[in-house]
Amino acid sequence: MKSSSTAPKVSILTPCFNGEKYLHKLLDSILNQNYQALEFIIVDDGSEDNSLSILNEYREKFKNKHIEYRVIAKNNGGAASAINEGLKYFTGDYLTFIDADDFLNEDSIQKRVDFLEKNKNFDAVYSDTDVVEDVDYYNIVDTLRDESNSKQKNLFMNMLLNSNYIWTPAYFIRAPFFKDINQDLHISEAKAGQNIQLFLPLWHRAVVGYLNESLVTIVRHSDSHSRTVRDDRTNIFREREIEKIYNDTLEKMNISKDERLAYKGLITQRFKHVNEKVFVDVQDGRDELTRLYDRDRERFHKSHFTSADLANQTQLATRMIFSSHSLEKSLSNEKFEIGHGFMVIGLLRGFIDIYLYKGYDKNHKAYINTISVLKAFYERHRGTEYQAEIDDILGDSLLDIIHTDNSDIGGAFFVSISDKKNNSTKNFKDLAEGRFAIRTYANKPVAKKEIEEVIAIATKTPTVCNRQPVRVRVMYDKDIIAKILEVQGGIAYYDTPPVLFLVTADDNSYVGANERNQGYIDGGLFAMSILYALEFKNLAGCPLHAMFETERDFKIRGMLDIPDNEKIITFISAGYFDDNSGVCKSFRYPVDHILTEVKKIHDFSIEVAIPDQQHDSTSVVTQNISTIEQIRMKVRIRTRLRQLRVDAKVRTRVKRSLSKVSRTLDELEYSKADGAILTLTGYFNYGNVIQRYATQKYLRNNGYNFVSYVDPYSSMQDMYRVGRKRRLKTPVRALKRIINAQKPYWYTPPFREIYPESYRLENMINFVNKNIWIKPFDPRDQYKKYIVGSDQTWRNWWSDREILGYYFFNFLKGRKVKRISYAASFGNDKIKDVMSNEDVEYIKPYIESFDHISVREKSGVDLIKKTWGIDDVAEVVDPTLLLDAEEYSQLIESSSVKSEQINPIFTYVLGETPDLLRFVEKIQDERKQPVTSIRAHSGSEDDILPPVELWLKGYRDSELVVTNSFHGMMFSVINNTDFIIIGRESGGLTRIKNFLDAYGISGRFVEETNLADFSMESLEPIDWHSVNKKMKHTRASSGAWLLSAIAK
């Protein structure tokens, strides 16, 4: 190593603002360098902490190390301003930059000097960068590296396109080259973009070397300017500023006009999302419900704030309304005691100070209301012993505002019972305008009949598709009410009300991920109807929140025995009006604050991003999305930094290792598949499950291994044992149990322990995991053959065009693969009852791209021809008929139910009704035989659906089957068991009738409306010889069609 007097000098430049927490680490790292020819320039940019004092304390230490040390103090002007100041003084042969919150590894300078001294043709060099947490400098949580060893124009393009282009302290530049490119040694002093101005011109011309080792460390923490999380509006302004900096920098660069125009075109393309709303749909294997909830959470977090200092006007107004209303409730209480509520007025004082400091609108209703409420509160304390204390809390300036306020929209007043006498004859406008939330009631019980009439009125509330999911619990016992409200916590300091309602909504009433929040809408509407009905019936009422954190949610559910499938919407207290009731004034915003007329459709775009889990990046696959947009969608450095806290945990690393191994094994196994099958996978009924099994089994019997997708829309994917993750965890779990002395050591917990929501479906799930080769849907799969069917896949159950499109292969785009439908069904012979006209047009290009189309019903053939003009459509049998009775018997005999007894009459009924139950009893009485029944859906919370094999056994071992299920009918035929099929309009009546007609057994059909007149003697006998002959023929021809479609 050269002596410090002959070695090239290295200048290190650091801008610093409020860096007292991190400066010691940075300064010590420079002092500990094994290279001594250093010049350290640090610019204190008007720090408000002890940064400057710390820097001055180190002067002697740097002097003792013979390191040139220059501390420059200036007024705050931003990072770019500090850099400009430092560039005036650097004199080194090499230059590097480092932030005040980062530090150098011990041999960082030496190794980079050595590289450039040995490689004179390189203008700069960069290295890998370690990342640590500010709470633990010794635990490296990630290493940022350039796997591609990018050089010259690649670095320039990466920076231009905002890839992970730079970690400032990692770069080390020859000073003459830097000065040649940046001759002014000055950059624009914008709030952001200093790195763009410094390095973009450099990387356009530089030959850059790369050291594949970590020589610098950056510290991840929450208070660095460059790592601050910003709201959407701030991000838009910042990105516009950055776009301008790019263009200004390109203007200053010594490049040709054509080259500059080309680069500016890339910048324009990159920042087009600033003025055009872009929705990014990240397809990373999550099921649709998870993706929607994740998006809900992301959107809420963007609007949620924890500090009033960071709040926008709407958020701060909301805080003021919330706190003001708590004062109004106190003022409305006849038991109001002076001397309370001072903490709230202190909060409001703080909110108002921030509101005025930020220059927000003083004509805003929320602000006026807050002043009005404070004035009312102050007047209640005027002349009391507490007035001086309130004066101190509010302060002179706010007191001046309050005393000069002329508004009267906030506070409380009294409602007289005489105002309510004519409620039952008022028009709706008057009734609505006279309704207030009342928390005090006459001390007398409310007749239950009155409450029942209230609920009867509320039943006219609309619900989605008339599902009527709302449930109402009512309490009259004041001891019970008091205990519930003690947990609820929103009506303290009032007497216990005579009546308490709890409104809930049953999630069993909803059919798709898109309806995940519909319960809150239906329940909310119903609750409002209750409030209006109470007012109409001369009963007072008040909605009480049910916005509970986990503990209170559990307590309320436990106390009232509320199952998990019910969403808790709201409580409502009620009772007779008192003679005079105090109420909050509760101002309302004017109509123009709420109502917006839509006069145009705005521009937007949707980008589909598919993360590459192996390379920790994201590619954009949406059509018409350019390469620049794809690069922009890659995982960015700051996004990665936000994830490092998770990566740092050992447990997380173990999980990721297991996941990586699992993915590798899965990919190896799934790569062997000949193709994929798409069908409905989320409804967990027996027919659906067994048709999935039959399709895959028939193909396997004939030499084709097709994997069955777990669809991303209707399925709880993680409830399936998809992949090997659970199996890989078993040895880890066993080791833990050995350490903890838990027996048995080798223990795989049932699904109910891992996914409680799967408790009642456990037998279904276990059958799928045991007998069907499944994988989560992944649009990145590169199979050459795709099959859709069977079941009613071509019916828009979801009222969602994109989900319907999945079953027409919309995700395949323009890929050259084989598209086949086998026994797909519309479930109806009228297209208008299946999908909308818009759906028909949307589906047209997708169905026209099919190579081979077959459907399950003859009506489906006619429907496709009439709707889309496609003639080449085959009618085939349901896949369950592709297998014979013996193959299903093998399933039964290899299961735990093979010895279970089946009675002579077996019933499987969808949607049990009293008429259906009476019909079964009638059959039982006529035949004088016992019945074995299997429910189509679980009944009580503890009712587990029986195994699929037992369901199959019922058709095989019984003498007579009574069912209204299409597949129930099919398995009766497969097993040559007498049956009665009950027709129900909502259950795919067309397919049932088509099948019966085709096999000449229509005499086994009974309309649901004719059950009362049915007689066993009216049943026509079945010619099983004829049926079996027909079944053998259709099985052979349908199977041949499918195999031919795959082979062609």
For 340-393, write each residue's pLDDT tens digit: 888 788 889 888 988 887 788 899 999 999 999 999 999 999 989 888 888 888
For residue 205 the two structure tokens come to: 């011309």
State whether residue 133 is helix, strand or coil.
Answer: strand
Model pLDDT for residues 406-431, shown as the tens digit of each residue? 889 999 999 999 999 899 999 999 99
449 and 570 share one domain: yes
- Does residue 875 surpass a pLDDT of 80? yes
Residue that has been written with the tokens 């009422």 in this structure: 541
Question: What is d(CA 958, CA 976) in angstroms, rounded to the nearest whole number?
Answer: 10
Note whether 209 and 114 are within 8 A (CB): no
Question: What is d(CA 325, CA 981) in angstroms, rounded to the nearest whole number?
Answer: 61
As beta bridge partners, residue 584 has 412
678 and 820 share one domain: yes
Q: What is the overall mean pLDDT for the chain?
A: 83
Q: How many CB atoms lie within 10 A of CB 452?
A: 11
Q: What is the pLDDT of residue 278?
A: 66
- Does residue 884 surpass a pLDDT of 70? yes
329 and 450 share one domain: no
Count of domains for the chain: 6
- Does residue 634 surpass a pLDDT of 50? no
Note whether 746 and 321 are within 8 A (CB): no
Quick check: is 397 in a domain? yes
Q: What is the pLDDT of residue 277?
A: 65
Cα dihedral 232, 233, 234, 235 sign: positive
Please state, in angstroms and as integers, the Cα–Cα distance from residue 315 to each residue in 306, 312, 321, 353, following that order: 10, 5, 10, 15
Note whether 323 and 351 are within 8 A (CB): yes
Q: What is the pLDDT of residue 446?
A: 96
Quick check: is 1048 in a domain? no
Residue that has been written with the tokens 């099921």 in this structure: 287
Query: Binning pLDDT at 50, 70 and 90, where does residue 636 land?
Result: very low
Note whether 990 and 971 are within 8 A (CB): no
Query: Binning pLDDT at 50, 70 and 90, where does residue 527 land?
Result: very high
Note whether 622 and 151 are within 8 A (CB): no
- Nearest Cα neighbor of 959 from 906, 900, 1028, 1014 is 906
318 and 454 share one domain: no
733 and 871 share one domain: yes
Question: What is d(CA 167, CA 142) in angstroms, rounded to the nearest whole number?
Answer: 13
- Does residue 94 surpass a pLDDT of 90? yes
388 and 509 share one domain: no
- Nearest Cα neighbor of 716 from 776, 800, 803, 786 is 776
Query: Binning pLDDT at 50, 70 and 90, where does residue 336 land?
Result: confident
301 and 331 share one domain: no
825 and 916 share one domain: no
Segment holding 13, helix H or strand E: strand 10-16
Please state, in angstroms and as integers, the Cα–Cα distance from residue 790 to each residue in 164, 822, 850, 893, 1037, following that order: 46, 6, 16, 26, 17
Long-range pairs for 693-697: beta carbons < 8 A, 24 or more residues apart: 693/767, 693/771, 693/772, 694/879, 694/880, 694/882, 694/883, 695/787, 695/789, 695/790, 695/822, 695/879, 695/882, 696/772, 696/773, 697/883, 697/887
Residue 511 or 647, more confident: 511
194-223: average pLDDT = 84
| Amino acid type, 813 | K
Quick check: is 1044 in a domain? no
State whether residue 614 is helix, strand or coil.
Answer: coil
Q: What is the pLDDT of residue 235?
A: 63
Query: Binning pLDDT at 50, 70 and 90, where does residue 747 land?
Result: low
Note whether 541 and 415 are within 8 A (CB): no
Question: What is d(CA 247, CA 250) in angstroms, rounded to the nearest whole number?
Answer: 5
- Does residue 596 surpass a pLDDT of 60? yes
Q: What is the pLDDT of residue 628?
A: 38
Query: What is the 3-state secondary structure of 407-444?
Result: CCCCCEEEEEHHHHCCHHHCCHHHHHHCCCCCCCCCCC
327 and 388 share one domain: yes
Burial of 571 (0-12, 13-18, 19+ CB in 10 A): buried
Query: In this structure, what CATH number is given to the domain that contains residue 546?
Result: 3.40.109.10
CA 616 to chain CA centroid, nearest Å: 20
Query: In this structure, what CATH number is given to the domain that contains residue 84?
Result: 3.90.550.10
Query: Binning pLDDT at 50, 70 and 90, where does residue 191 land?
Result: confident
Backbone angles phi, psi at 781, to 5 degrees: -55, 145
453-460: average pLDDT = 96
- Nearest Cα neighbor of 101 from 1, 14, 215 is 14
294 and 348 share one domain: no
For residue 700 the two structure tokens come to: 């396997």
What b/e readout covers 983-1021, taking b as 16+ CB neighbours within 10 angstroms? Answer: bbeebbbbbbbbbbeebebeebbbebeebeebeeeebee
For residue 767 the two structure tokens come to: 């059958």
Note whether 159 and 200 are within 8 A (CB): yes
Q: What is the pLDDT of residue 644?
A: 41
Angle at the Cα of 377 (from 372 to 382), degrees rounded to 5? 120
Quick check: is 284 in a domain? yes
As beta bridge partners, residue 874 has 854
Q: Which DSSP state fits 169?
A: G
Quick check: is 721 in a domain? yes
- Does residue 675 surpass a pLDDT of 80? yes
Quick check: is 706 in a domain? yes
- Does residue 772 surpass a pLDDT of 70? yes
Task: State percent of the chain over pLDDT 70.
Answer: 83
Question: What is d(CA 178, CA 185) in angstroms, rounded to the nearest whole number?
Answer: 9
Query: In this structure, what CATH number is given to the domain that contains residue 914?
Result: 3.40.50
Q: What is the pLDDT of residue 937?
A: 60
Note whether 910 and 936 are within 8 A (CB): yes
Structural domain containing residue 378? 311-413
Model pLDDT for residues 351-362, shown as the tens digit of each residue? 898 888 778 889
Query: Binning pLDDT at 50, 70 and 90, where does residue 791 land?
Result: confident
Burial of 437 (0-12, 13-18, 19+ CB in 10 A): middle
Residue that has been written with the tokens 């008929």 in this structure: 881
Q: What is the pLDDT of residue 758?
A: 59
838 and 869 share one domain: yes
Note whether 291 and 280 are within 8 A (CB): no
Q: Mean pLDDT highest for which of 499-508, 979-988, 992-1001?
A: 499-508
Question: What is d(CA 604, CA 622) in angstroms, rounded to the nearest whole number?
Answer: 14
235-255: average pLDDT = 83
Query: Of 536, 559, 579, which marks where a domain is finished?
Result: 579
Tell me the longest C-alpha to C-alpha distance in the chain.
115
Question: What is d(CA 127, CA 462) in angstroms, rounded to the nearest whole number?
Answer: 64
Segment holding 609, helix H or strand E: strand 604-612
Note whether 356 and 401 are within 8 A (CB): no
Q: What is the pLDDT of residue 754?
A: 53
Quick check: is 592 in a domain? no
Angle at the Cα of 308 (from 306 to 313), degrees rounded to 5? 115
Q: Mean pLDDT highest for which of 156-160, 236-240, 314-318?
A: 314-318
- Does residue 631 surpass a pLDDT of 60? no
- Nearest Cα neighbor of 318 from 298, 348, 346 is 348
Model pLDDT for residues 123-181, shown as the tens digit of each residue? 999 888 888 876 566 677 778 876 554 444 467 887 887 654 556 788 899 999 999 99
935 and 841 share one domain: no
Q: What is the pLDDT of residue 833?
A: 77
